[in-house]
Amino acid sequence: MDDPRRAEDRGRREEDARDLTKMSYGSMAHQCKECRRETYAKVVRVTLWSGDRLIVVENVTARICDDCQEQYYDDDTSEKILQLASTSFPPDKVVREITASVFSLDDKQK
C-alpha cells in the first residue's frame, strides 16, 4: 500500500520558503513543468530552511508528479506558507518540536 517513493519521505533539496512561489499553480488540472506528466493531489510535509532553522510544515495539500516527484502547491497554500515565512515562522504557531539526525559526507567531522 505504501509507496516507497512517498514524496514527503524523499529528501527534498534544500530550499528557501521564497522559492515556493515558483511551484505555485492556479487551476486544478495540472501538469508537471519538468516532465509534462499529470500530477495527483496529496497531503504532504514540506521541509525548508529559514536561515539556520530547519522548518517542517505538515498537512500541506500539494500536487505531486508521479514521475519526478516534484511538488506543486496551489496559490492559497503557497500564500499560507509564505505568510509563515514572512513572520519568521512564529514560535506561538509551532505545534511541536522534533529532533533531526544530521549526517555529514565530510570525514573530518566524524
Under the criterion CB under 5 A, does residue 14 sit at the interface with Zn ion? no
Under the criterion CB under 5 A, does residue 65 sit at the interface with Zn ion? yes
**Of the two residues 19 and 58, which places its CB atom closer to Zn ion in the complex?**
19
**Of the two residues 42 and 80, which places its CB atom closer to Zn ion in the complex?**
42
**Neighbouring-strand partners of residue 20:** none
**Of the two residues 5 and 50, which places its CB atom closer to Zn ion in the complex?**
5
Under the criterion CB under 5 A, does residue 32 sit at the interface with Zn ion? yes
Tell me how far, at minimum, the Cβ of 70 lies from Zn ion, in Å: 5
Q: Are 84 and 23 in contact (CB under 8 A)?
A: no
Under the criterion CB under 5 A, does residue 7 sit at the interface with Zn ion? no
**Contact with Zn ion (CB under 5 A) among 14, 19, 67, 79:** 67
What whole-number distance in Å separates Cα of residue 62 and Cα of residue 42? 5
Helices and strands per DSSP (H, E), number in the chain: 1, 4
- Mapping DSSP onto H, E and C, the string for 83-98 reads HHHHCCCCHHHCCCCC
Q: Are 61 and 77 in contact (CB under 8 A)?
A: yes
> Residues interacting with Zn ion, by CB under 5 A?
32, 34-35, 65, 67-68, 70
